[in-house]
Amino acid sequence: MAAVCQFQSLADPARLTILRHLALGEHRVVDLTAHLGLGQSTSSAHLACLRDCGLVSSRTVGRASMYSLAVPAELMGVLAAAERLLAATGDAVALCPTSGVGQRDQQ
């Protein structure tokens, strides 16, 4: 069950984009909103989810919070493995009638 929760935290496109951006280094919320075109409240909500899941950590610098990957090597390993799996299966996951692209649009 924990694995399902972990993969759900990675399933949102905005959260995945935030994680990939944090792989480049530590950022403030304002930096992420500017770089990724997300609203401040949206970025904050996604960062809270990622922090609660143990994927992101934060530290206070003055009045700002600096966010970074909590377990960078492990997370990048999972994302690299996902890319290899996608390469091996081709478009099968996108075409899947249960969880494919068409299903995501209907949710």
pLDDT in tens, 48-91: 999 999 999 999 999 999 999 999 999 999 999 999 998 998 87
DSSP H or E run through 35: helix 29-36
The 8 Å CB, 24+ separation contacts for 73-79 are 75/19, 75/23, 76/23, 78/10, 79/19, 79/20
Instruction: With beta carbons less than 8 A apart as the criterion, state whether 28 and 64 touch.
Output: yes
Query: In terms of residues, how long is the chain?
Result: 107
Report the top-level CATH class of 1-70. mainly alpha
pTM of the model: 0.85
Does residue 33 carry a pLDDT above 80? Answer: yes
> What dihedral do alpha carbons 75, 77, 78, 83 form, nearest 10°?
130
Rounded Cα distance, 29 and 35, in Å: 10
For the chain, the domains span 1-70, 72-107
